[in-house]
């Protein structure tokens, strides 16, 4: 956890530099109301220092497989403390996300098997053979 000596208010470029997150992503998080921001007199978007933690925590949750819509349903306390543990209220969402990830892994394994079978058939028959020949070879093995 990186401590910052930055003082409020932060402009979006400063927040981007502090967190290593693109300005575009920060705007996206702000549009989903995941960050505390306001507008300065000149219309610039400004953030309090807590936004550094919020951005890092949103990134952590995204890296855990959650999308912004799901993250927006999490209690605010999970977004205000970097590295905050998941709250019991989020268990159902966590289980749903895990199921989606496991389903995706199964899909990828099936795609992997198809590709490996295709490569193996191509190595046996050589390139540019009709698909029916490839299928006949697979049936024989």
pLDDT in tens, 80-93: 666 666 777 778 88
What is the C-alpha separation between 56 and 73, in angstroms, rounded?
Answer: 17
Strand arrangement of the beta sheet that strand 10-11 belongs to: 10-11, 45-47, 37-39
38 touches 46 (CB < 8 A): yes
What is the C-alpha separation between 27 and 33, in angstroms, rounded?
Answer: 10
Instruction: State residue 1's pLDDT score.
Output: 47
Proportion of the chain above pLDDT 70, given as a percent: 77
User: When comparing pLDDT for 5 and 111, which is higher?
Assistant: 111
Instruction: State residue 102's pLDDT score.
Output: 95
Mean pLDDT computed over 59-73: 89
State the chain's mean pLDDT as an integer.
82
In DSSP terms, 47 is beta-bridged to 10, 37
What is the C-alpha separation between 77 and 84, in angstroms, rounded?
Answer: 8
Classify residue 43 by its DSSP letter: S
Q: Are strands 10-11 and 37-39 parallel, antiparallel or unpaired?
A: unpaired
Residue 27, both tokens: 């705007």
18 touches 10 (CB < 8 A): yes
User: When comparing pLDDT for 25 and 1, which is higher?
Assistant: 25
Instruction: State residue 23's pLDDT score.
Output: 95
The 3-state DSSP class for residue 61 equals helix
Mean pLDDT computed over 64-85: 78
What is the C-alpha separation between 141 and 91, in angstroms, rounded?
Answer: 46
Whether 36 has a pLDDT exceeding 90, the answer reads no
User: When comparing pLDDT for 88 and 53, which is higher?
Assistant: 53
Instruction: State residue 47's pLDDT score.
Output: 92
Residue 73, both tokens: 């349903």
Instruction: State residue 112's pLDDT score.
Output: 96
| Gyration radius (Cα) of the chain, Å | 24
């Amino acid at each position: 956890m990186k401590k910052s000596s930055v003082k409020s208010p932060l402009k979006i470029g400063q927040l981007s530099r502090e967190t290593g997150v693109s300005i575009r992503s920060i705007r996206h998080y702000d549009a989903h109301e995941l960050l505390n921001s306001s507008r300065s007199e000149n219309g610039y978007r400004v953030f309090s220092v807590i936004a550094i933690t919020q951005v890092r925590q949103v990134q952590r949750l995204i890296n855990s497989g959650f999308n912004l819509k799901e993250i927006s349903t999490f209690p605010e306390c999970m977004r205000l403390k970097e590295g905050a543990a998941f709250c019991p209220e989020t268990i159902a969402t966590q289980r749903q996300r895990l199921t989606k990830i496991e389903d995706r892994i199964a899909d990828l394994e099936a795609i992997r098997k198809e590709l490996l079978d295709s490569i193996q058939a191509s190595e046996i028959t050589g390139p540019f053979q009709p698909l029916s020949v490839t299928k006949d070879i697979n049936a024989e093995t």
